Structure 1
Amino acid sequence: MKNNFTFLLIFFFLTHFAVAQEGVEKWIKGQVSSDGIPLEGINITNATTKVMVVSDSYGAFTILVKVGDILNFSAVNYEDLRKYINIQEFKMGNIVVDLTPKSIELKEVIINEHSEISAENLGIIPRDQVKLTSQERKLQTAGDFKPVHLLGLLGGMLAVDPILNAINGRTAMLKKTVTVEKKEFLMAKMEVLFEDKYYIETLKIPEEYIKGFQYYCIEDQDFARSLKDKNKTMSMFLIVGLASSFNKNRQSDVENH
């Protein structure tokens, strides 16, 4: 009987404590990330009070809650998440949230909707001929870019040309032109993939630095590969870290000058 009374007393105390906690509000700290990477610019809204805060560059935020409140986490590039605040988290005053990136394929710019009409189908060029850009064709003529089957066709006609180009530097110039052409292609993909609003509001890149940041991104081999592979999820994952690095370097330059 004594043991039952003690149990009931403890149960009553814990129940009373839990009910008392439910009506109390306090500030708690949180950290939001994705695969271990802190996320900046995530909107966190208390569904009960309608109060909204935004995570900082370290993914950290502070918000006023009580037990039982539901926090809504939302961002353009991540799946929405609803988080229930339980008693344990309320007592500790800390929560950690991990968001999942949205899987969105890169937009494709359709230049010719009638893809069945091509030079190969019309018999103008062989079906197995390598397609080159205009600058790559010039570099091929200069003797440095040599697809195997075309080399046999050109034969001795190009044998003298590389020697002359080595003298006047034309080959080196054309190599640089091909590199620039490839970077312009990546830049065009970035302009389709991300709007200026995303750079300014989410990545915190000032509008006048957007173009410079885009060039900064395509110099990164992993990011350039994600663009070529049309892997938007990886591009969005990498660009957050690149933006953080770019902003730190930019701030350092400002302070040094």
Structure 2
Amino acid sequence: MKISKVFAFFLSLVCQISFGQAADEKLLHGEITIDSIGVNGINILNLTSGKTSLTNSDGTFSILAKANDILVFKEVSLKTYEKKISSTDLIRNRLVLHMQAKTNELKEVIVKNKQISVFSLGIVTKEPVKYSPAERHLQTAGDFKPIMLLRILGGGMPLDPLINKINGRTKQLKKLVVVEKKEMNIQLISELYQQEYFTLQLGIAAEYVNGFKYFVVENENFVKVLHSKNEQKISFFLIALAEDYKILLQSKN
């Protein structure tokens, strides 16, 4: 009975926090530039609310946000940019952000034997799970589950998952993991196919190529084929999805 009351209390608290946050949201306007030029097709994610947006051809955008929300700005060729929204930002209602292109200063390293690892050499009998940076943050934060409340009586309940559940950090980290995986898939596509493949072979205008990449990684079947690294199958999927994408563009024009 006590456990039910404790769970009901935390559930009520989370609902009140969520309702209060939604009521404070405001449509925030902004602009993203590189070298004073507006940038088209930048993906914007509000980690707190999960809402997304995309910059227009002149680099301008709008997205619902409130004070202390964290906005993430991503594009394959640019460095990821994060911005915590302040009360002043909401009053001014005009964000001007400057993003930078990614640079790679490392020289190419050729590994002749790609199969060598502690797993292949028999040092360990089971290959360890590999986590991306965002997944490691999520593992550290912990994921709160209602059954953990049963451990309160024994004094053995970890506090981090509960605290992170209340302040929304775990939810934010889960969303960032999803975004990061999509970004990695887009990077893999860019490594497999040059820009000319999309413009000449698939007939997609250069300004829409990045948008097409984001479009295809939303398709779960395509992502499975992508990770098989079978270029023939990947190409078949891209050709079919390119037709769908061009129809979508025509319907919006």
With the length of structure 2 as denominator, give the TM-score of the two structures: 0.46
Which structure has the greater CA radius of gyration? 1
With the length of structure 1 as denominator, give the TM-score of the two structures: 0.46
